[in-house]
């Protein structure tokens, strides 16, 4: 059974960049709904007690009539679990250490990465996510629709091409609409002030 994880900071802790009401609804309603619906879909199957990352990475083994529900809701669980960890009241600034070097190599510096990641977040049509991922020794920026994640990339099995998520931003309207309405660019700009680069650095595997 999946449970809704506690946040390591208060709903108001990311103000003014991400407002408390948005955080509260996003976590206690949206994220919780993904948890509940995933549990409901897994009920009575052999997958109920397996890690959701493993289930999502092997969707073809899930009963066909459950597959869409688990892809969408289980993906929502994984993506939001990660998203909260990408944020911190002490966030902002720039990456350091091995991650900084890898960003310099892959994008030519932090500013070019910001531009590329922002562009992915702004051009994701409709609901979805933008990601900084590690693929072997390389870093790249990708975007996914709905609740697909780098672990699924749609129907692609992770085992053949594992992408390690380093940083993500939720660009579903529920992530920003209360404060920013249709102004997604302002939300993405504000996001950089609360990015937890220490956590991103921990997710990065220095080869
Ligand atoms: Fe969300």
Tell me the CA–centroid distance for residue 35 and ligand 1, in Å: 12
Three-class secondary structure assignment of 130-149: EEEEEECCEEEEEEEECCCC
Average pLDDT over residues 138-154: 86
Tell me the CA–centroid distance for residue 119 and ligand 1, in Å: 19
d(CA 27, CA 81): 10
Confidence class of residue 206 from pLDDT cuts 50, 70 and 90? confident
Tell me the CA–centroid distance for residue 104 and ligand 1, in Å: 29
Tell me the CA–centroid distance for residue 74 and ligand 1, in Å: 12
Given this model, what pLDDT does residue 188 score?
98
What digits encode the pLDDT tens for the residues 155-187?
444 444 478 899 999 999 999 999 999 999 999
Tell me the CA–centroid distance for residue 140 and ligand 1, in Å: 22
Average pLDDT over residues 88-114: 97
Tell me the CA–centroid distance for residue 80 and ligand 1, in Å: 6
Tell me the CA–centroid distance for residue 75 and ligand 1, in Å: 11
Those residues whose beta carbon sits under 5 angstroms from the ion ligand 1 are 170, 172, 175
Tell me the CA–centroid distance for residue 207 and ligand 1, in Å: 32
What digits encode the pLDDT tens for the residues 24-70?
999 999 999 999 999 999 998 999 889 998 898 888 899 999 999 99
Average pLDDT over residues 18-24: 98
Q: What percent of the chain has pLDDT over 90?
A: 82
What digits encode the pLDDT tens for the residues 79-97?
999 999 999 999 999 999 9
d(CA 193, CA 207): 28
Selection from 65, 66, 76, 1 nearest residue 33 by Cα: 76
Given this model, what pLDDT does residue 60 score?
87
Given this model, what pLDDT does residue 143 score?
94
Given this model, what pLDDT does residue 159 score?
42
d(CA 56, CA 2): 13
Given this model, what pLDDT does residue 163 score?
84
Tell me the CA–centroid distance for residue 172 and ligand 1, in Å: 6
Given this model, what pLDDT does residue 86 score?
98
Q: What percent of the chain has pLDDT over 70?
A: 94
Strand intervals (E) in the chain: 128-135, 138-145, 164-170
Tell me the CA–centroid distance for residue 105 and ligand 1, in Å: 31
What are the angstrom distances between the C-alpha of 82 and each of 53, 112, 207?
11, 23, 22
Given this model, what pLDDT does residue 153 score?
59
d(CA 93, CA 163): 25
Confidence class of residue 154 from pLDDT cuts 50, 70 and 90? very low
Q: What domains can you pick out in the chain, each with its CATH number?
A: 20-86 (1.10.287.990), 97-203 (3.55.40.20)
Tell me the CA–centroid distance for residue 101 and ligand 1, in Å: 30
d(CA 5, CA 47): 20
């Amino acid at each position: 059974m999946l449970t809704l994880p506690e946040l390591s900071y208060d709903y108001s802790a990311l103000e003014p960049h991400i407002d408390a009401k948005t955080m509260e609804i996003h976590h206690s309603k949206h994220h919780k709904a993904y948890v509940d619906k995933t549990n409901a879909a897994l009920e009575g199957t052999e997958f109920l007690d397996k890690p959701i990352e493993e289930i999502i990475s092997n969707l073809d083994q899930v009963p066909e009539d459950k597959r869409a529900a688990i892809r969408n809701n289980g993906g929502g669980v994984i993506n939001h679990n990660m998203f909260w960890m990408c944020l911190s009241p002490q966030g902002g600034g720039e990456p350091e250490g091995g991650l900084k070097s890898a960003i310099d190599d892959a994008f030519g510096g932090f500013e070019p990465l910001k531009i590329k990641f922002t562009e992915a977040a702004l051009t994701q049509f409709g609901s979805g996510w933008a990601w900084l991922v590690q693929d072997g020794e390389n870093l790249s920026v990708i975007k996914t629709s709905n609740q697909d994640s780098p672990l699924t990339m749609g129907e692609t099995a992770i085992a053949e091409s594992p992408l390690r998520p380093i940083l993500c931003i939720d660009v579903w309207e529920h992530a920003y609409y209360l404060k920013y309405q249709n102004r997604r660019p302002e939300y993405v700009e504000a996001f950089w002030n609360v990015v937890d680069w220490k956590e991103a650095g921990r997710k990065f595997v220095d080869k």
